[in-house]
Structure 1
Amino acid sequence: MTFRARLPILAAALCLATAAPAFADPAIGKRVDAVMADDTVTITEAGKTVLVYRTKAADPAEPGRLNYIHPLYAPDGAVLTEDRPADHLHQRGLFWAWHQITVNGKSVADQWFMKDIAPSVREKRFKGDAQGGGTLTIDADWLVKINGEVTYVAGETTKVTVHPLKAGGRRIDFETTITSKVDALGLGGSDDVKGYGGFSARFVQPQNLTFASAGKTVTATNTAVTAGSSMGFAWPAGTGPAWSLGLACKANGQPITQWILRKELSMQNCVFPGRAPFILKKGETLKLQETLIIRPATPPKPKG
Structure 2
Amino acid sequence: MSLRAFLASALLLVAGPAFADPAIGKRVDAIFADDAVTLTEAGKTVLVYRTKPLDPAAEPGRSNYVGVLYAPDGTALTEDRPGDHPHQRGIWWAWMKVQTGGKTVADGWYMKGLSYFVRSKTFLGDAEGGGTLTVEVDWMVNSGPELAYVARETTKVTVRPLKSGARRVEFDTTITSRVDALGLGGSEDDRGFGGFSIRLVDPEHLTFASAGKTITPNGAAITAGGNMGFAWTGDGAPAWAVGLACKANGQAVTRWMLYNDRSMQNCVFPGRAPLVLKKDEALHLQETLVIRSIPKKKSP
Could you tell me the TM-score, scaled by structure 2's length? 0.90
Q: Does 1:50 align with 2:50?
A: no
Tell me the distance in 1 between the aligned counterparts of 2:33 and 2:217. 39
Tell me the distance in 2 between the aligned counterparts of 1:267 and 1:153. 27
SS at structure 2 position matched to 1:28: coil
Q: Does 1:209 align with 2:203?
A: no
Contact persistence 2:114–2:143 (CA under 8 A): no
Alignment equivalent of 1:274, drawn from 243, 268, 271: 271
Tell me the distance in 2 between the aligned counterparts of 1:272 and 1:34. 30
Aligned to 1:63: 60
Letter paired with 1:253:
G
Moved more, 267-276 or 26-35: 26-35
Tell me the distance in 2 between the aligned counterparts of 1:299 and 1:250. 32
Identity value in percent: 66
Tell me the distance in 2 between the aligned counterparts of 1:147 and 1:75. 44
Aligned to 1:108: 105
Alignment equivalent of 2:125, drawn from 99, 117, 128: 128
Letter paired with 1:191:
E
Aligned to 2:249: 252
Aligned to 1:13: none
SS at structure 2 position matched to 1:149: coil
User: Within 5 Å, which residues of 2 pair with 1:215-294?
Assistant: 215-294=212-291
User: Within 5 Å, which residues of 2 pair with 1:73-112?
Assistant: 73-112=70-109
Aligned to 1:15: none
Residues 252 and 300 of structure 1: is their aligned pair in 2 closer, same or farther, counting only changes over 3 Å?
Answer: farther
Tell me the distance in 1 between the aligned counterparts of 2:157 and 2:186. 23
Aligned to 1:191: 188
Cα displacement (A) at 1:154 = 0.1
Contact persistence 1:208–1:239 (CA under 8 A): no
Hey, which bits of structure 1, 4+ residues long, moved more than 4 A? 24-27
Contact persistence 2:22–2:129 (CA under 8 A): no
Give the root-mean-square deviation of aligned CA atoms: 1.7
Letter paired with 1:130:
A
Letter paired with 2:24:
I
Aligned to 1:33: 29
Contact persistence 2:22–2:128 (CA under 8 A): no
Cα displacement (A) at 1:28 = 2.7
Q: Deviations over 1:54-104 (max 9, x none)?
A: 000000211100101011100000000011111101000000000000001
Cα displacement (A) at 1:27 = 5.5
Tell me the distance in 1 between the aligned counterparts of 2:21 and 2:188. 50
SS at structure 1 position matched to 2:142: strand
Residues 291 and 27 of structure 1: is their aligned pair in 2 closer, same or farther, counting only changes over 3 Å?
Answer: closer
Tell me the distance in 2 between the aligned counterparts of 1:267 and 1:240. 17
Tell me the distance in 1 between the aligned counterparts of 2:219 and 2:22. 50
Contact persistence 2:205–2:234 (CA under 8 A): no
Q: Deviations over 1:76-133 (max 9, x none)?
A: 0000001111110100000000000000101100100000000100100000000000
Tell me the distance in 1 between the aligned counterparts of 2:236 and 2:174. 36
